[in-house]
Amino acid sequence: MRTALITGITGQDGAYLAQLLLDQGYAVHGLLRRSASADVIGERLRWLGILDRVKLVDGDLMDLSSAIRIVGGIKPDEVYNLAAQSFVAASWQQPLLTGAVTGMGAVNMLEAVRIVCPQARFYQASSSEMFGKIQQAVQSESTPFYPRSPYAAAKLYAHWMTVNYRESFGMHASSGILFNHESPLRGIEFVTRKVTDGVARIKLGLARELQLGNLDATRDWGHARDYVRAMWLMLQQDEAQDYVIATGRTTSIRDFCAMAFGHVGLDWQEFVRTSADLLRPAEVEVLLGDATKARTKLRWQPSVTLETMVAEMVEADLARHRGRTAAPVATRA
Ligand code: NDP
Ligand code: GDR
């Protein structure tokens, strides 16, 4: 039986990846940071029905000694480093913490693997945010980076350190440069889930409006379940490399709103308000990925369309809120 260690197992991707690896017959261990809210922290794993099938071990990405202890104790075949302070907007408020977790934390994991389990295969969760102020209209593995936030700068450091450990120490270390991917398990602060949650609340009469920031930005959105499959495929290759994972379609926040509200028969323009407080100090205006390399070498391709994903997310949020419904908002014809 193969063994995997996932950092960030309580997050969106960690939960879906754990499910995929369990289905493949892996023993799955997850690094869990200590919390006073331990009862709610495994909510995504519980939602997927796998909380009791994964083994959670206490540790923190910022604590090298815990990383060494955990990697040395488990001796995993594969390590997926998904843990991060992953919310871009928060990274301007907490730049040092973001650097410590998202940047240095990845190096702690690389060091732990190098020192106590160098044969393990390593996956680093890199990000399309590293392209930032885009240098090419469509971004691939060869597109120059231009990070636009403390988060993106921290990810870029972790990305290059992963390349560095591969080239310096011969480690099987790969970076997946993943474009935005969403699901019903997406954190509530990210725009897609904020919108689908808002749609559900408004539809059920629990809220009257939804406040958003920049509606003009566009993102290349895929489904997290498809994207964790790409992570796994990267570690099954003989040679470690870096891959862009994207759908090749970009959509504005405005159009995403139209789709999500439209799913329940509402006109988004009646409910969405914009607030300058939600604008970022520097914006990534457009992202659009070219995943040709992944399609060719990994034989990976997305299976879920944006329309299907939006419907799944809205329905999941409706189900979550239905228990505490007030009067529903009338559906427009
Ligand atoms: P989430 O924000 O949902 O999950 C982040 C995870 O990191 C959580 O399990 C969180 O634990 C954990 N974590 C945070 N700080 C620490 C710490 N100090 N020590 C240990 N664990 C910690 O992220 P996603 O699942 O969406 O993303 C997974 C990874 O992929 C992240 O690195 C993200 O930056 C990156 N990424 C995501 C993309 C996306 O579109 N989703 C696209 C490209 C890259 P807790 O539950 O305790 O908070
Ligand atoms: P992003 O995702 O920053 O791309 O990072 P997010 O959903 O937060 O923002 C996407 C775009 O929507 C605009 N926006 C808003 N965003 C949020 N969160 N809330 C709002 O109210 C709002 N209104 C407009 C933003 O300005 C932005 O342009 C995600 C994270 O998962 C990262 O960890 C990951 O690396 C990248 O995707 C790829």
CB 144 within 8 A of CB 135: yes
Residue nearest to atom 26 of ligand 1 (CA): 12
Same domain? For 164 and 309 the reply is no
Q: Does 330 map to a domain? A: no
Q: CATH no. for residue 24? A: 3.40.50.720
Q: Does 333 map to a domain? A: no
Question: CA 55 to CA 33: how far, in whole Å?
Answer: 13
Q: CATH no. for residue 262? A: 3.90.25.10
pLDDT in tens, 249-261: 999 999 999 999 9
Give me the pLDDT at residue 332, please: 34
Instruction: Count the neighbouring beta carbons within 10 Å of the beta carbon of residue 70.
Output: 23
Q: Pick the catalytic residue: 80, 91, 123, 129?
A: 129
Q: How many structural domains compose the chain?
A: 2
Residue 157: active-site member: no
Same domain? For 198 and 148 the reply is no
Q: Does 294 map to a domain? A: yes
**Intervals of the chain under pLDDT 70:** 324-333
Same domain? For 307 and 195 the reply is yes
Same domain? For 93 and 233 the reply is yes
Same domain? For 278 and 147 the reply is no
Q: Pick the catalytic residue: 66, 127, 128, 183?
A: 127
**What is the model's pTM?**
0.97
Residue nearest to atom 28 of ligand 2 (CA): 217
Q: Does 326 map to a domain? A: no
Same domain? For 260 and 142 the reply is no
Q: Does 169 map to a domain? A: yes
Same domain? For 215 and 227 the reply is no
Same domain? For 302 and 241 the reply is no
Q: Does 309 map to a domain? A: yes
Give me the pLDDT at residue 324, please: 62
Same domain? For 176 and 261 the reply is no
Per the structure, the complete domain to which residue 256 belongs is given by: 191-219+250-321
In the numeric block, which tokens belong to residue 177? 């440069």
Same domain? For 92 and 198 the reply is no
Give me the pLDDT at residue 325, please: 46
Q: Does 37 map to a domain? A: yes
Q: How far is the CA of 87 from the centre of ligand 2 (A)?
A: 8
Give me the pLDDT at residue 35, please: 87
Same domain? For 278 and 205 the reply is yes
pLDDT in tens, 98-149: 999 999 999 999 999 999 999 999 999 999 999 999 999 999 999 999 999 9
Same domain? For 275 and 144 the reply is no
pLDDT in tens, 190-208: 999 999 999 999 999 999 9
Residue 127: active-site member: yes
Among the bound ligands, name the one nearest to the CA of residue 281.
Answer: 2
Question: CA 170 to CA 198: how far, in whole Å?
Answer: 48
